[in-house]
Amino acid sequence: MLIASFPAGPWQANCYLVAAAEGSDCVIVDPGVEAADLVRSVVAERRLRPAAVVASHGHLDHTYSVAELCAEYRVPCWIHRDDRDLLADPFLAMPSGTDRMLREAGYRTEFAEPERVETMGDGQRLTLAGIDFTVIDAPGHTPGSALLRTPYDDETISDVIFSGDVLFAGSVGRTDLPRGNPTNMLETLRSAVLGLPDTAAVLPGHGPQTTMARERAGNPYLQPDFLQHEGEEEST
């Protein structure tokens, strides 16, 4: 499997291009601000043919270039049904003043859905560009945050998880933005995240890649004391 990645834009959001091999179809995951030209460069360099765009969630730093790339390559966008409305109005889930900040920095602030949008949900299996993905609901950062899991044929790595802004190396996604929900995030960490195998490689929406073994051992937000204490606070 070929996985090419780069951080893009002021939020340095990771965009991924996933393909079976060079010269084949590919999936574009989370093309955010300033990602379009970088996607084009990777596509040309690796002789790829985009077959779909997938958004791990609806935040602007992961979807800014979705419509542009979908139109250029004539491919659909896949996004969780609970975040679909953010494609046309991403500011619903961004801090107040984000539109003004972008406008002052010279970025556009008007958005629309791509011509073709496909929605996904928990347990759904997608075969895109010849690669099998399983969708795992992971709400909390946004209602429609999702983990994308695909098998990986390696002696030490069994799966690759595109974790969006759910799980990072040493941290987890914030829940203080509009539509964030700490109770849902806590349940996501307990079930969806901790249910992943230690042999899974985690490719997050920001920062370096990691593994589930490393995060289970050292991520403070995945430790039993934190999860139990936070759960007790939520129930009081």
Q: What is the pLDDT of residues 124-178, one digit of tens each?
A: 999 999 999 999 999 999 999 999 999 998 889 999 999 999 999 999 999 999 9
> Which pLDDT band, with edges at 50, 70 and 90, does 230 fall under?
low
Task: Give me the percent of the chain exceeding a pLDDT of 90.
Answer: 94
pLDDT for the residue numbered 232: 57
Q: How many CA atoms lie within 13 A of 212 on its CB side?
A: 21
48-84 pLDDT, tens digit each: 999 999 999 999 999 999 999 999 999 999 999 999 9
Q: Contact at 8 Å (CB) between 133 and 122?
A: no
Tell me the three state secondary structure of residue 129.
Answer: coil
* Cα–Cα nearest to 50, from 66, 33, 61, 34: 66
pLDDT for position 98: 93
Looking from the CA of 174 toward its CB, the CA atoms found within 13 Å total 8
Of the listed ranges 66-70, 152-156, 195-199, 230-234, the least confidently predicted one is 230-234
Which H helix or E strand runs over 221?
none
| pTM of the predicted structure, to 2 decimals | 0.94
- Compute CA distances 27 → 75, 92, 216, 235, whole Å: 10, 26, 28, 41
Say how far apart CA 91 and CA 33 lie, in whole Å.
Answer: 14
Whole-angstrom distance, CA of residue 162 vs CA of residue 80: 14
Q: Which domain holds residue 60?
A: 2-235
Looking at residue 61, what is its pLDDT? 96
Per-chain mean pLDDT for the chain: 95
The confidence score (pLDDT) of residue 236 equals 35
Q: Which helix (H) or strand (E) holds 120?
A: strand 117-120
Structure tokens at 203: 């490719």
Confidence of residue 235 (pLDDT cuts 50, 70, 90): very low
Under 8 Å between Cβ of 61 and 35:
no
Per-residue pLDDT of 23-40, as tens digits, reads 999 999 999 999 999 999
Count of domains in the chain?
A: 1
| 203: helix, strand or coil | strand
Q: Which helix (H) or strand (E) covers residue 55, if one does?
A: none
pLDDT band at 228 (very low <50, low <70, confident <90, very high): confident
Distance CA 77, CA 63 (A): 10
Q: Are 161 and 212 in contact (CB under 8 A)?
A: yes
Domain containing residue 36: CATH number: 3.60.15.10
96 is written with which tokens? Answer: 């107040």
User: For residue 120, what are the β-bridge partners?
Assistant: 80
Chain centroid to Cα 44, Å, comes to 23
* Residue 147: strand, helix, or coil: strand
Tokens 């542009």 identify what position? 68
What's the pLDDT score for residue 31?
98
Strand, helix or coil for residue 17? strand
Q: What is the pLDDT of residue 102?
A: 93
Q: How confident is the model at residue 234 (pLDDT cuts 50, 70, 90)?
A: low
Residue type, 60: L
Q: Tell me the average pLDDT across 12-28.
A: 97
Residues in the chain: 236
Binned at pLDDT 50, 70 and 90, residue 16 comes out as very high
